[in-house]
Structure 1
Amino acid sequence: MSAVPQERRVVTAIPGPKSQELQARRTATVAGGVGSVLPVFTARAGGGIIEDVDGNRLIDFGSGIAVTSVGASAEAVVRRASAQLADFTHTCFMVTPYEGYVEVCEALAELTPGEHEKKSALFNSGAEAVENAVKIARAYTKRQAVVVFDHGYHGRTNLTMALTSKNMPYKNGFGPFAPEVYRVPVAYGYRWPTGPENCGAEASAQAIDQISKQVGADNVAAIIIEPVLGEGGFIEPAKGFLPAIAQFAKDNGIVFVADEIQSGFCRTGQWFACEDEGVVPDLITTAKGIAGGLPLAAVTGRAEIMDAAHAGGLGGTYGGNPVACAGALGSIETMKELDLNAKAKRIEEVMKGRLAAVQEKCDIVGDIRGRGAMIAIELVKSGTKDPNPEATAAVAKACHAAGVLVLTCGTYGNVLRFLPPLVIGEDLLNEGLDVVAEAIASV
């Protein structure tokens, strides 16, 4: 159990005086382009609580954006990473390799969907993983075009900005972007013109038609999609959409890439979100929840595709850092020992029940969606489906003031997303939801 007391406590204004002092120092020396959701400075964190420098304890419904799924100071992560720190911090796997990297690749081969032979390459961040998946797919297919989807988010590097659909704050003023990237519709059930029941079939037909006509299937190296779209608003593609796109890719020799950076590692109640409809990707990208808060990412996939890149073509100085690899092994150990898939399903049950009760009373809650501990509500203007980003910001602000950290997202900025640590206590989860319900009612 975490050493941080698992109780909400608000003893100063949020942010408090010490956080405000640190914020002044930050403003003087940290680049203005680096934002923060809430300028409270963390002193320690664990379980479902973040404690700030003023002694406030906030219920954590963010997990560092789905990173600290096992908690921010999980025993197995700390134990394994500390032991590795004492042995060596770095050699660079491309200079002299070490067992931890191999062990992580073995674990990924075991855990990711499909019975085929798999290999992995390790990197530092989700954007790096996606970028390398594109490199690998291009090397394997000898093609160039990459297809992505409306509302998708894939990172902040030049190539992954091109893959990302949302302009502000991710792309605005940062172009020109990498070429040969094509965007097609996604099955966004809540906003599909003919209704969610028709969405999967119609959206997949539209997407396939656009790829075939505008790009040419024979030119496509990779199709990349988040099985649950994260930054775009926790959109679950309508049933039938992912299998249809995956089948189209298979029929046309296109590498199908599941971007599971936010949705992976028990977050949706399965090891990976694509398992929900039995989709087996050719390549899968992971990061965020993989290593209990240490920087690590991976591309895992069919051995023959992963081996397409020439020796020396993949890598990076820090990729698969030994301390991060130790953290990943501790994180996976924790997920198995505590059955965090079951915990995520229970979190979904509690959250959806509580949020449905809020929706009955408040007509600004247009949609409740997501799976496991990846749940969102889309806020709209009363009696319409018009996005309501003002209400969303107001609800988030009220939650923060009351000691509950929530995140917003969505192409229209009107989605509240909930990513609690999978180890959060149910009493704390319900207390946080009490605050969310009060905040929505007050708005």
Structure 2
Amino acid sequence: MTNQSLQSRKEQVFPRGQGNIYPVYVEHAKNAEIWDVEGKRYIDFGTGIAVCNTGHSHPKVVAAAKAQMDKFSHTCVMVNPYEVAVTLAEKLTAAAPGNSPKKAIFVTTGAEAVENCVKIARAHTGRRGVVAFNGGFHGRTNLTMALTGKVAPYKNLFGPFSSDIFHIPFPMAHHDVTVKDSLKALQNLFKVDLCPTDVAAIIIEPVQGEGGFYAAPPEFLQALREICDQHGIVLIADEIQSGFGRTGKMFAFEHSGVEADLMTMAKGIAGGFPISAVVGKSEIMDAPLPGGLGGTYGGSPVACAAALAVLEVIEEENLIQRSVEIGELFNKRLSQLQQQYPDTILEVRNQGAMIAIEFVNNGDPEQPNTKLTQDIIANAAQHGLVLLACGFYGNVIRFLPALTISDDIANEGLDSFITLFEGLVGSSK
């Protein structure tokens, strides 16, 4: 069996819309490493898009899932519930930032969590409008595509979308969008298109994922909190990519000291098992009527058991602090590279182990170097790496290493990345 033979088979039965970045077929994976069906080893700097924060096949997570499978795999939490789901809800509501009493629901995907946030906010406020941000990513369903602030590839060909969705600029200092600019755009929206008393929610990623790993400045999140309080608007924190220790806090909103009204959780929640959650203030969460929230597979008992194990691993192995250390390691080495190539690397940025390097031409933020980013991704597998791109212009490489990665493996992967980068930059001169 080869990667190419499997890719040929896949292309016969998968549509092109669900492509794959690498023609690399995984045989097994352990912690921060992957081995393909041909026996080649890769250092994984993507972790399934920030899903395996505790590494691939963490023994404690595997054991918890196996133990639950021996008991039962499904009864539907809305029909015959089970203790493991109650325990997980207790732990997540306790872990969520802020002192307000909270409740939780479980669904299956990040997009479902976002959709349910909007449903809950609309039920609570009786309002219709939702404000999101340019460059934001919230999912691939019709409503979450409408919320997503980037057309290609997520929205192209798929309209019409849900109405009453509005976008404003996300503050990005390097691209001349200040906090003041964003807040002014919001006030302009209130004057031109949508009265604030018609706004059900404002949804924001504290660190934009697909948008390029830009962190929202604390003062911006604090200002949004004040605006939402002033007008009775629900503030939604989309923590799907930034949660579970990824940014040096359990959740990225903690960096600003702001308590959101509702928050989405997914990706790193259960070590790869499909489950997501909405956690929010009790009086808001209780707005929908009985039967208004749920889903057949929401709160899978196997995924709940895995999620409880993930929470234990994060605490026992001190992975939140480890995230800070990983971020410092990557930032130091990539910043040294930036000093050597200031015309090509606009910025190295990170919040914990959510790390990005942005490429431009001639040191100009208005000249994104998308080709270099594409070339790095295209050649990563040959250098034994799994890398992901992102960014409004597709000119950012994001690093999402497992929080359990060793310094030795991280440095080995960075050595390979630097070799790959310098080979491409040198060949383009």
Shorter-chain TM-score above 0.5 = yes
Tell me if 1:426 matches 2:425. no
1:178 aligns with one of 156, 162, 184 = 162
2:352 aligns with one of 368, 372, 389 = 372
Instruction: Give 2:206's aligned residue.
Output: 227
Number of positions where the alignment pairs a residue of Structure 1 with one of Structure 2: 422
Tell me if 1:400 matches 2:381. yes
Q: Is the 8 Å Cα contact of residues 49 and 267 (structure 2) preserved in structure 1? A: yes
Q: CA deviation at 1:72?
A: 1.4
* Secondary structure at the counterpart of residue 431 of structure 1: helix
Question: What is the rounded CA distance, in whole Å, between the counterparts of 1:228 and 1:99 in structure 2?
Answer: 33
Q: Is the 8 Å Cα contact of residues 71 and 422 (structure 1) preserved in structure 2? A: yes
Structure 1 runs of 4+ aligned residues shifted over 3 Å read: none
Q: Is the 8 Å Cα contact of residues 186 and 207 (structure 1) preserved in structure 2? A: no
1:412 aligns with one of 381, 393, 405 = 393
Question: What is the rounded CA distance, in whole Å, between the counterparts of 1:62 and 1:208 in structure 2?
Answer: 37
Residue deviations 1:95-116 (CA, integer Å, cap 9, x gap):
1111111111101111110111
Residue deviations 1:369-417 (CA, integer Å, cap 9, x gap):
1211110011001232211100111122233211011100111010100
* Secondary structure at the counterpart of residue 215 of structure 1: coil
1:86 aligns with one of 44, 62, 70 = 70
* Secondary structure at the counterpart of residue 56 of structure 2: coil
Instruction: Give 1:323's aligned residue.
Output: 302
* Secondary structure at the counterpart of residue 312 of structure 1: coil
| One-letter amino acid matched to 1:348 | G
More moved, 134-143 vs 213-222:
213-222
Question: What is the rounded CA distance, in whole Å, between the counterparts of 1:178 and 1:128 in structure 2?
Answer: 15
2:315 aligns with one of 336, 339, 343 = 336
| One-letter amino acid matched to 1:158 | N
Instruction: Give 2:147's aligned residue.
Output: 163
Distance 1:269 1:252, change over 3 A: same
Q: CA deviation at 1:440?
A: 1.9
1:113 aligns with one of 79, 97, 109 = 97
* Secondary structure at the counterpart of residue 240 of structure 1: helix
Question: What is the rounded CA distance, in whole Å, between the counterparts of 2:128 and 2:191 in structure 1?
Answer: 15
The RMSD of aligned alpha carbons is 1.1
Instruction: Give 1:6's aligned residue.
Output: none
More moved, 184-193 vs 271-280:
184-193
Question: What is the rounded CA distance, in whole Å, between the counterparts of 2:88 and 2:103 in structure 1?
Answer: 11
* Secondary structure at the counterpart of residue 267 of structure 1: coil
* Secondary structure at the counterpart of residue 120 of structure 2: helix
Distance 1:212 1:275, change over 3 A: farther
Instruction: Give 1:204's aligned residue.
Output: 183
TM-score (norm 2): 0.97
* Secondary structure at the counterpart of residue 64 of structure 1: helix
Q: CA deviation at 1:151?
A: 0.5
Tell me if 1:36 matches 2:16. no
Question: What is the rounded CA distance, in whole Å, between the counterparts of 2:218 and 2:311 in structure 1?
Answer: 29
* Secondary structure at the counterpart of residue 150 of structure 2: coil
Q: CA deviation at 1:239?
A: 4.0
Instruction: Give 1:251's aligned residue.
Output: 230
Q: CA deviation at 1:437?
A: 1.4
Q: CA deviation at 1:237?
A: 2.0
Question: What is the rounded CA distance, in whole Å, between the counterparts of 2:256 and 2:207 in structure 1?
Answer: 12
Residue deviations 1:69-121 (CA, integer Å, cap 9, x gap):
00110112111110110110100111111111111110111111011110000
Q: CA deviation at 1:167?
A: 1.0
Instruction: Give 2:269's aligned residue.
Output: 290
More moved, 204-213 vs 80-89:
204-213
TM-score (norm 1): 0.94
Instruction: Give 2:278's aligned residue.
Output: 299
Q: Is the 8 Å Cα contact of residues 345 and 363 (structure 2) preserved in structure 1? A: no
Question: What is the rounded CA distance, in whole Å, between the counterparts of 2:275 and 2:387 in structure 1?
Answer: 24
Question: What is the rounded CA distance, in whole Å, between the counterparts of 1:365 and 1:225 in structure 2?
Answer: 27
Question: What is the rounded CA distance, in whole Å, between the counterparts of 1:401 and 1:238 in structure 2?
Answer: 37
